[in-house]
Chains A and B, each alone.
Chain A
């Protein structure tokens, strides 16, 4: 059983695309793939999988990218609770010695939903 953790605020135009892509993937997803639309990143702390599979929107890219190292993410120091984001939680897990692999599929802020969903599926 695989879980795809999907992050993105559906109310924000620049952040909602991951929800659209996730819904497209769900239409033709094989059995054994659970898609979780996540409201906050703490959900990753409870993940039981050895590899965290994450879908999120990335600024300033034109096609999907794959990130497999936490060090590839920009991490801010925690300024306030509002900065408790995916990259902070992943960095925290790493610094606390949590031994999990990560696979973050970053998608552009907008584009052809079907085409991007197919690309993402090939990486899952």
Chain B
């Protein structure tokens, strides 16, 4: 007997995606996750353009991750030009990136993920009963927006970031006000952790390696080696280790590490960088690890724990941002005009940590400063194969449950990765035989 279930929308993820799942005699016969978004051609759009335009163009890949693409593009171009930015420039980039992560995590946790665990169709449906909780989300989103606006001069698609520095610098007063706001919303981040620790998560272990940047002295954001529990490599070596390939069923590339799937994102970062968490974020991690009901392990490979990792990162990001504000309060903001950089031909690579994982940008420019080659690898492209294989392994555990339950659990699994397929409308088809 064959049954077909068609859902026109896998809701609450970013972008177009489709899953074809075949089940026969209690076994998964087919599991194919694919992105069905239209091709974006951004790597082609930047060709022939001046290097100063790369970040403005690639910012439009996604409004949610616009700061990420701006920062990665600028850093890759600077790498190609063999230019090292000032410490102030780097700190401001960190601050803007932290703001984007706070905004993104708060949105994902409360508006896309929480309704799943509380049994609501959407955040709107739970708003009257969970007003206080949603208020935490709004406070955090507001703080994230504010951080991006203070540094980037606009809260979406920042305009002050440039190759060689910042076109506009925040004032000392803005930094003071920002710090006050961050101190005020920290309690919202702590409450987010405590709320998400109380939820019930399926027991499941992904067999993937967890990769993220790992820095020497800090929870990695803009630098570090791409590291898992098994290997570590420098960004310059990425083409040796990471392979992109296409599938006829998907418009998004798949990415593997020497033929194997891997996972990026908050959980990987937490696994690989937990020693560099802020003091209060460490307290939250300890609380999670000691919670018997939650059953979270250090170096967890349970993708559902990505929600927990994001919640803990909220506390860490706020603490880190406050620390950066403190430095600027003490030392002031130096009036650093954008550096004029001597143009030279070369290739540059940037790997940075963004809300959904590690983002790669690579550009080759000629001696006129024109881009001749570009490559961008997003976190979701790196997670795509892993999500697919996790579904394949997870479904047999619940195969005897009702179809609605199975679909709900698959969607929850996909959402736990907080994937971004870059627009909306999704399609899940489960074929029963």
Contacts and interface: CB of A to CB of B under 8 A. Distances in A.
A80 interface: yes
A47 to B, nearest CB: 12
Given A39-B155, A42-B145, A78 B112 contact: yes
B424 A80 contact: yes
* Range, interface on chain A: 20 to 34
A95 B128 contact: yes
Contacts of A79: 9, 11-12, 424-426
A96 B127 contact: yes
Contacts of A97: 128, 131
Given A39-B155, A46-B142, A92-B123, A80 B131 contact: no
Contacts of B138: 42, 45
A77 interface: yes
A95 B13 contact: no
A92 B124 contact: yes
Given A42-B141, A45-B138, A83-B424, A78 B131 contact: no
A96 B131 contact: yes
B142 A91 contact: no
Interface string B103-143: 01001100110000000011111011001001100100110
A95 B12 CA distance: 19
Given A77-B122, A79-B11, A92-B134, A42 B127 contact: no
A82 B423 contact: yes
B286 interface: no
A73 B25 CA distance: 47
Contacts of B170: none
B396 interface: no
A97 B13 CA distance: 27
Given A82-B63, A91-B124, A97-B131, A40 B107 contact: no
A45 B106 CA distance: 15
A88 interface: yes
B346 interface: no
B15 interface: yes
B104 to A, nearest CB: 8
Contacts, number: 71
B123 A78 contact: yes
Contacts of A45: 138, 142
Interface in B1-32: 9, 11-15
A82 B131 contact: no
Given A40-B156, A45-B142, A81 B134 contact: no
B137 to A, nearest CB: 10
A91 B154 CA distance: 25
Given A78-B111, A79-B424, A82-B423, A39 B156 contact: yes
Contact of A95 (B127, B135, B156, B423): B127
Nearest to A45: B138
Contact of B135 (A39, A82, A84, A96): A96
Given A96-B127, A96-B128, A84 B155 contact: no
Given A81-B64, A82-B63, A88 B124 contact: yes
Contacts of B12: 78-80
A80 B422 CA distance: 10
A75 interface: yes
Interface string A28-68: 00000000000110100110000000000000000000000
Given A81-B14, A82-B423, A95 B124 contact: yes
Contact of A82 (B14, B121, B122): B14
A39 B66 CA distance: 14
A46 B135 CA distance: 12
B178 to A, nearest CB: 15
Interface string B50-70: 000000000000011000000
Contacts of A95: 124, 127-128
B124 A78 contact: yes
Contacts of A92: 123-124, 127, 134
Contacts of B135: 96
A39 B102 CA distance: 19
A81 B9 contact: no
25 contacts: A39-B156, A42-B138, A42-B142, A45-B142, A75-B124, A77-B124, A77-B125, A78-B12, A78-B111, A78-B112, A79-B424, A79-B425, A80-B12, A80-B14, A80-B112, A80-B423, A81-B108, A81-B111, A82-B14, A82-B423, A83-B424, A84-B111, A95-B127, A96-B127, A96-B128
Which 4 pairs of residues, A with B, have the shortest CB-CB distance?
A: A95-B127, A77-B122, A80-B14, A80-B424
Interface of B: 9, 11-15, 63-64, 104, 107-108, 111-112, 121-125, 127-128, 131, 134-135, 138, 141-142, 145, 154-156, 423-426
Given A40-B145, A42-B138, 14 more contacts: A39-B154, A42-B141, A42-B142, A42-B145, A46-B142, A77-B121, A80-B11, A80-B15, A81-B14, A81-B64, A82-B14, A82-B64, A84-B107, A96-B128
